[in-house]
Amino acid sequence: MRDETIAIHGGYVADSSRAIAVPIYQTVAHDFIDADHAGAVFDLETPGYHYSRMVNPTVDVLEQRIAALEGGAGAMAVSSGAAAVTLSILNLVGAGDNIVSTPQLYGATYTFFAHVLRTLGIEARFPRDDRPDSIEALIDGRTKAVFCETIGNPAGNVIDLAGVAAAAHRHGVPLIADNTVATPLLLKPISHGADVVIHSLTKFIGGHGTTLGGIIVDSGRFPWGEHPDRFSQLIDPEPAFHGVQYTTRFPDAPYIVRCRSVGLRNMGSAMSPFNAFLQIQGLETLAVRLARHEANARLVADWLLADDRVSWVSFLGFPDNPYHELARRYLGGRCPSIITFGVHGGFDAAIGVFNGVKLFKRCVNMGDAKSLIAHPASTTHRQLTPSELELVGVTPDMVRLSVGLEHPDDLLEDLDQGLST
C-alpha cells in the first residue's frame, strides 16, 4: 500500500463487531484465560494484552500504522513527544555514558540533554554545527547514541542523514532521528540510515492541537549483538524483566521491546486509548493537510520576502536557503510549513509582531490546522543563555510561523497588520 492508504488502513483488522473506525478500547486491563496464559504474556512468550500502561489494542493500531509508514520493525506510542525523546535515550545510556547531538534542537529537548541528563551522570555533547564530520569528532568509546532532528525546530536546518548515519555507524553507534517536522510522508529517516525514529504526534500527525502524544519507531536494522560491551542491556539477561535476552528472543526489534518492557513499564508514560484514537483520526488526513500547509506556506514566505519591514526569511523552499539542496535530496522538493523570519528592530520589534496579530494564534505548538506564531527567544528557548541561543540557531529577532489551513489572503492581511504594530 502507498503511504496515503497505509495512513487510513494500516495496522487494523476489524474484530467481530466489524467496526470500520478503530474502536476505543477504554480499559485498564484485559482478562487472562488462565494462569499459564498470564505467565506466558508476562514473560513475553506469547503476544497479548494485559495492562494498558504497556499495551492497548487502540494504541497498538497507531503503533503499527506509524511503523509501517516509517518502514520500521516496531513502534511504541507514549504520552508526549518529550516522553518519546526521554525513553529513546534512556533505553541505551547509563551513568558515565554520553550522547552526541546536533545543537539545533527544540528548546525542551536541548534543556533535557544539556541540564537534566547530567544530573544522571550522562553527558550530552554538542558539536559546533550539524555537519557529519563535526558530529563524528565527538564520538568516543562511551557514546551510546547520536541524536538529531531531521529538520531542526525552529532553526529549519536539514540534516545530512546519510552522512550522519554513516559517521555514527563507523563507531558502532545508532542514530536516533526526531522526524516531527517532516513527518513520514515527507521524509523516511530509516531509508537513509537512521536506526530509531521518534515523533511528537502532538504536531502535524495529530494536526488539530487537541491531543498530546509521542512515538518511538525501531528500524530493526542496527546490529546490537555486534557490540556486546556497548549495548549489554540488549544482549545480557534483563534483571528488570524476567531475565529476557532481547537480541536472542526478539532479533527483529530488540530495542523497542526493551523500551516497552523496561522504560514504559517502569516510567509509566502511557498513551491513553482515547488519545490514540484521536491521533489515528489525524493521521488519516495527514496527506491532504500537508499539501495545503505547504501551498499556504509558500505564499506566505514569498510575501514576507518582499516586505521591507522584514530583514530576513528562512524557508526551505527558497533556492538561496543554505539547506535547500539537502531539502531537495531528502524531501524530494517538498517543504514543511514552518517559516522563520526576522524583523527590523530586533527583539522588541519581533515581540510587537507576536503581540499584534489577531488571526495567528500566539502558541508554542506547531502543525495545527490553525496558523500559529511564536517568538522562540522569549518562549520555547527562553531558558537558554545567549551563547546557547546562538548555538541552537535562535536569534532575538526571530519569529516562527506554523502556517495552517486558512485562506492565504486572510493570513497575509493578518501579518500585514501585525508588522504594522
Instruction: Summarize pLDDT for 85-94 with one digit per residue, the tens.
Output: 999 999 999 9
Find residue 143's DSSP bridge partners: 98
Report the C-alpha gap between 250 and 253 in whole angstroms: 6
**Predicted pLDDT of residue 259:** 97
**Domains assigned to the chain:** 3-281 (3.40.640.10), 288-419 (3.90.1150.10)
Q: Which residue in the block uniquely carries the three cell numbers 490514540?
A: 276
Contact 178, 194 (CB under 8 A): no
Q: Which of 243, 273, 260, 280 is nearest to 54 (CA)?
A: 260
Backbone conformation region of residue 16, classed left if phi is above 0, alpha if psi is from -120 to 50, else beta: alpha
| pLDDT digit string, tens, across residues 77-117 | 999 999 999 999 999 999 999 999 999 998 889 999 999 99
Angle, CA of 156, 157 and 161, to the nearest 5°: 135
Residue 278 has pLDDT above 80, yes or no: yes
Residue 315 has pLDDT above 80, yes or no: yes
Could you give the 3-state DSSP secondary structure of residue 375?
coil
Mean pLDDT of the chain: 95
Contact 367, 340 (CB under 8 A): no
Residues in the chain: 421
